[in-house]
Structure formats: structure tokens, C-alpha cells
Structure 1
């Protein structure tokens, strides 16, 4: 009984192998069409792949969308940061353009003078001495010495009171110390009228020029220059404009009130005048 069962089993296995070989050979043969079994197997496989692939593709698309969203958000943040910096960039450009214009004006003025100039920046100015002094970023190492005239692009503003190695202390015309013996000439009808700066009127924000001869004919609008007669200041440096003329208290001379050309509240770039020995002799 057992032998018979084993023999039948062996026959079935051999028959199965033969059928398998025939199927393989049949499927490898060149044919223009597929069998129903092959079609069923292919359709079932494709359907299975579609069913399995759909959720996978859906999840993949979600992750791809999220990733792109994070990338867009980061890019938007960068663009927003650049937009936030635009006002500062515009302010920097305006400031640099103003500084360049000041330097061009300084070079234009200095090119018309008979002396060398040293451009400098204001680096310190004390609020409690706003009308008295300030400090610049040039000193003895740049050839500056005590007594040199200091100008803005508009006109004379002060004098070097103390020169250090890399900086200098500038005393302004609005102080009483630097006004001592500062002789000026006021041009009226192309004729010079002489006087000297005595003080600065803090209430009116005007320089006071005294010792002007009577009946000088001075009037509003006459321009005031350094005379070059006293001290190391060159002749012809513009100081300001006459806004009022009056007789002194004794009636022996006249006083002139002068509006400075330079804006004492806005001093950023200045240039120091270095007179050559030849111009000093002249």
C-alpha cells in the first residue's frame, strides 16, 4: 500500500516537472499574443502595484509638498529680511552721497587756495561744549600744528588749539579764546573795512565785530573775511555775512553783527589749512 502511494507520488512529481518544463518552453517561444493565464497574472500584478503604489505616491506627494513649503517659507523669510534692510541701505546711500559731496566741495575750495589742506572727520563733540570745541581724527602725524585754521566747505569754523599724535582739539570761532586778535576785513563796494571779532552773541547766534571806523557805509549782506594781518591765518578766508550794523556805546566806532557761513550745529567734515613758508612771507 505504501509502495503504491509512494509510486503515485513520484509519478505526480515527475508529471508536474514535465508540465512546468513545457510551460516554460511555451512562454519563451516567439508569440504574437499572450495566454489567458499570462494576461490574468499580468493584470493581477498591475492591479496590485496600483493599489499598493497609490497610497505610497500620495504620502510621497504630501512629503514633497511639505518640503517645498518649508523651502518657500525660508526663501520668503530671507526676502523679507532684505526688504526690512532697504530703509537702512537707502539711508546709508544718502549719507555716503552727502559725504562725497562735502569732500568734492572741499577739494574744489582747497584747489583755489595758496596752501595745502588736510581733510579730517569730527570724531568727538561734547554736548556741554557744543559751541566751544570738537576733536578731529588728524594730528601731528598728519602735519597739523597749533594755530592752523580749520574750515568747513562753507567757511572758517575754528583753529587748531592742540595737536596730538593722531587727533587734534579744535577751538571754534564761537568761543572767546580763539577770537582774541582775530582781525577781519569786511568788503563793502569792493573796498575792505577792518575790524576785529570781540565775542559771540549766544542769544542771537552772531559774531560781533568791533572797532570799525565810523561812517564806513557797511550794510547788510557785506561779506566778512580774515584779513591776514594778525596771527597765522591766511588772508581771504570767508567767515560770514553782515546782518546788522550799529554805533558803539560811545559813538566813536561801529559794531557789526555777523552770521557765520558755516553751520555750527552740523559739522562733520573739515579741512585744516597748512600755509607754506612762501605764503606766510607774502
Structure 2
């Protein structure tokens, strides 16, 4: 019943409004001033609705414009990011090339200064299980490489060739426990035997020094002319600690190699060295 009453009220209200509008229009038909009055009255009545509609229109127009601007900014940002990533990659490649050039330039200068003929090679493989013992280079018998040829860098002694294939060869590192060479204290000319320790820090130890040997921290250790395989005077490393053995009455010292064996990428093989004697201490077993 209440719904029916509400519908009747709405219908009656609409009829009343229509009748009023009809009366006003007929009342002002023959009078221009009345027409203007009626137009002003209608304009005043509709003005709030027009302002509201205009505000809504401006709001949606601005919103769509803002959304479009955001999309454009996002696209520009994506393009800029792609450009930055491209240039960042270029910078990294340039940096790698620059670093490689520095290493190769240092090797070239060493190659020009050394009295022996050398062949450059790239390190192409290292076995995790023998990381501190051996590595593989990209030169082999086709390049004139032979077993027992010394391997060096501009920093110092690396090791020797222990196995040769047509296109590659295996190098036994100076820090391998299978390595043992004659060595000398550069400052005092005291002789000893250098053995590898195969430790992550890459240390070696010089042993069999006379108990009166004058060896100190910081002394440079070089290859001895008695080595049989390595030319004399190749830098091995520096003494970091000296030990005295009260039982054997010998001195020994811990030696840090000059070569960074963790970062070896390029090496030089000495291909024309011929020792006048065999290595008296049997420079380790081949691996």
C-alpha cells in the first residue's frame, strides 16, 4: 500500500509541474518580457546543475589527460632504462677490454725484456679438485710446446709443463705439493729447496737452509741456477715468516709467491731454455 501511495504522489507531482510549466508558457507567449523572465528563471534554476556537469566533465578530462601523461612517462622511462642498461653493458665490456689490454701490455713488456724466447698462452681450464696444483693452457705440441718448459708471467714464476696434447697443455703450478725446485735468497745467496703447500692462500716454503742462513721477512726468493729446469733469477716470492728447527738445525721460511694463482688468465712459456744439468732434486712428480 505504501508503495502505491508513493507512486501516486510522484505521478501527481509530475502532473503539477507539467501544468505549471504549461501555464507559465501560455502566460508569457504574447509578452517578450515574460519570455525573458521565464528564460532567466529557468537559467537560474538550471545553473547549479550546469556547473556540476561542467565540473564533472573537467574532472574526467583532466583524469584522462593525467592517465595519458603517466603512460607516456612510463614508456619514456622504459626506453631510458633500456638505453642505460645498454650503455652499462658497453661500459663493462670496455672495462674488461681495458683490463685485458693492461695485462697483455705488461706481458709484452716482460717478453721484450726477458732474454729467452717465449710463447704467450691463455688459461682455458682449471679443475676444482686440483685448483692449487694444475691448470690447462691453449697451446700444445702444434705450437712447439714440450714437457718441462718453464711457465711464467711478468710477475714471476708460475710452474712448468707436465703434459702436452696437440692443442693444449697442462701446467704444474709452483704452489703444488708435487712441486719442488732449487731456490735462492736473492740478498744473501743462501740456497734452499722450495716446495708447494697447495693452500688457498697459495703459499710455498723454502727449506733445507743452513742454520746460520741470513734470511729475513721481506727477502726476495728467486729460482736457483741449480734448478735444472728453470732459468736462474726468476722471481718466486717474498718471505713472510722464518722458522728454526731445533732438531734438524735447519732454517725454513714461509714464502708468498708474487704471482696471484687465483687470477691467472694469461701466461708465457719459455720455449728455448736448455739447462746444462738435470734438476738435482727431481722437480716433483707429474700429475
**Bin for the TM-score computed over the shorter chain:** 0.5 to 0.7
1:134 matched to 2:140: no
CA contact (8 A) 1:201 1:208 kept: no
| Cα offsets for 1:117-153 (capped at 9, x unmatched) | 1111111112222111111111111111110111122
CA contact (8 A) 1:137 1:167 kept: yes
3-state SS, counterpart of residue 229 of structure 2: coil
Aligned to 2:210: 213
What does 1:1-282 align with in structure 2 at a 5 Å threshold?
81-179=82-180, 182-188=181-187, 191-200=188-197, 202=199, 205-277=202-274, 280-281=275-276
CA RMSD of the aligned region, Å? 2.7
Shift of 1:281: 5.0
CA distance, structure 1, for counterparts of residue 122 and residue 267 of structure 2: 6
Shift of 1:104: 1.0
Shift of 1:204: 6.1
3-state SS, counterpart of residue 113 of structure 2: coil
- Number of aligned residues: 207
More displaced stretch, 201-210 vs 220-229: 201-210
CA distance, structure 1, for counterparts of residue 118 and residue 271 of structure 2: 6
Shift of 1:86: 1.5
| Cα offsets for 1:186-222 (capped at 9, x unmatched) | 112xx31100113416276421111111221210111
Aligned to 1:19: none
CA distance, structure 1, for counterparts of residue 102 and residue 260 of structure 2: 16
Cα distance, 1:163–1:249 mapped onto 2, change above 3 Å: farther
3-state SS, counterpart of residue 230 of structure 1: coil
CA distance, structure 1, for counterparts of residue 252 and residue 198 of structure 2: 12
Q: Structure 2 unaligned segments of length 5 or more: list them.
A: 1-73, 278-287
Extract structure 1 runs of 4+ deviating beyond 2 A.
73-83, 201-205
More displaced stretch, 236-245 vs 73-82: 73-82
Cα distance, 1:158–1:276 mapped onto 2, change above 3 Å: closer
More displaced stretch, 238-247 vs 200-209: 200-209
CA distance, structure 2, for counterparts of residue 173 and residue 260 of structure 1: 9
CA contact (8 A) 1:156 1:262 kept: yes
CA contact (8 A) 2:228 2:276 kept: no
CA distance, structure 1, for counterparts of residue 198 and residue 163 of structure 2: 25
3-state SS, counterpart of residue 192 of structure 1: coil
3-state SS, counterpart of residue 197 of structure 2: strand
TM-score normalized by structure 1?
A: 0.66
